[in-house]
Every structure is written in structure tokens, then in C-alpha cells.
Amino acid sequence: MSEVLVVLDVKETINKALFEEYILKEGFECAENEQFAYTGISTTPVFNTIAYIFEVFSKAFDMAGIEECRLICQIDSNPPVAYLYKKDEFFTALK
């Protein structure tokens, strides 16, 4: 099992209740005392976990009306990786 941390940098106003309702339904939890940080547990390989994160968060972004967002993802002790989500381009790794 791997611990998962996803942190978002959201610049626009969103429907956070709708966004988090979906995220929580998909197995993530809100990190305590953090605005846009979510934790979870994965039982799949890292590649599959990242694919699942992209799938869940892209649907949540669409539901909440997020056009662009930065996402940092850390799985277990692997180094965190930053991505840029754009509605029409999906996710791009940032360097």
C-alpha cells in the first residue's frame, strides 16, 4: 500500500463543495487544516495510481468549472511531481 498526497494550486473561484463531494466519493480525504490538499491510500502500482488521480481530478475539475490548475502529486516516498492541468490539454508535467 502507498500513501498518496495531492495538493492543488487553484487560482479561480470554484464550487468547492461540489468538487470535494466527488473527490471524497472517489476515495480521497481532505488533509486537515489545508485548503486544497487531499490524501489517500493506493494498492496499485505508481503508474496506475497516477492514472487514477488524473482521471478523478480531471472529472472533478470539469464538475467544478476549473479551466486551469497546478497539481502536485506524491506517492509514498517517491519525489513529488508537479503537473499543469488545462481543460483542453489534460495534464502536462512541469519541470
pLDDT, average across residues 63-79: 92
User: Domain holding 7: CATH number?
Assistant: 3.30.70
pLDDT of residue 15: 83
User: What does the block give as the cell for 39?
Assistant: 490524501
How many separate domains does the chain show?
1
pLDDT band at 87 (very low <50, low <70, confident <90, very high): confident
pLDDT of residue 72: 96
Residue 12 has pLDDT above 80, yes or no: no
pLDDT at 90: 82
Give the integer Cα–Cα distance in Å for 2 and 19. 24
pLDDT for 16 equals: 85
Structural domain for 50, as ranges: 2-93
